[in-house]
Amino acid sequence: MDFSDLNDEELFLQMQDDLYDGLKEEVVAETEEALKRGFSPQDILDKGLVAGMDIVGVDFRDGILFVPEVLMAANAMKAAMELLRPLLTASGAARIGTMVIGTVKGDIHDIGKNLVGMMMEGAGLEVVDLGINVDADKFIQAVREHQPEILGMSALLTTTMPYMKTVVDALGEEGLRDDIYVMVGGAPITESFAQEVGADAYGRDAAVSVEIARAYLLTRRGAETPA
């Protein structure tokens, strides 16, 4: 797979198109080509991968793309990130924030959570995925260890939804609640339920969740910047 005949702008546009179409091998090859040309990992992330996932997110939100297509795009992104992540770490490239995410205790559904996690990573966040069946202690431990700006909880079963409040309450008991933005989501979750459990935001779907997270992080960064 040779993309050496494309100029730099065409290479990044092709990367966005192939990401949109979920063409994993092509996206990895384009990432390798961009690295060969001397682009920084951050440039490749911003101009190719994040830009591509932004288009995917908008079309998902607008009902043009559906979960299977978005998962394919996210998997292509993930494959390219496996190349870039160690380089980003080594270069000390700044991510826009950190998010800890997990499916709550008693629930083993993870497609939605995985999609949110991959799209958040595509938007430039460092994502710590705790997996499924995550209890309050594990959430607390991860918050202490990674000091994220955002905590995301997912549930698909109505029987596991109330556990979200258990986690929010535990954050309060540990003195961590004021320092973290809690987002909840999942098929049975509603805006009013999110408010009931004490969450800060309800992500209706992965695209909306990314928009909410980005807006929060930009606002937070603005608040932390000295006048």
Fold designation for 95-227: Rossmann fold (3.40.50)
Task: Name the nearest CA neighbour of 125 among 67, 210, 60.
Answer: 210
| Per-residue model confidence (pLDDT) at position 93 | 64
Whole-model pTM? 0.76
Report the chain (227 residues): mean pLDDT per 10 consecutive residues. 93 97 97 96 88 88 89 90 84 82 95 86 88 98 97 96 98 96 95 97 90 93 66
The tokens describing 208, both together, are: 């909306």
Give the list of residues 6+ apart from residue 114 with CB closer than 8 angstroms, or none: 71, 74, 129
Q: Could you read off the pLDDT of 108-159 as tens digits, one per residue?
A: 988 889 889 988 887 888 899 999 999 999 999 999 999 999 999 999 999 9
At the fourth CATH level, which superfamily is domain 1-94? Answer: Methionine synthase domain (1.10.1240.10)
Task: Name the nearest CA neighbour of 185 among 207, 156, 160.
Answer: 156
The Cα 101–Cα 112 span in angstroms is 11
Domain with CATH 3.40.50.280 in the chain: 95-227
Domain with CATH 1.10.1240.10 in the chain: 1-94
| Per-residue model confidence (pLDDT) at position 153 | 98
Q: Which residue intervals of the chain are DSSP H helices? A: 8-20, 24-36, 41-44, 51-61, 67-91, 111-122, 136-146, 163-173, 191-196, 206-224
| Per-residue model confidence (pLDDT) at position 108 | 93
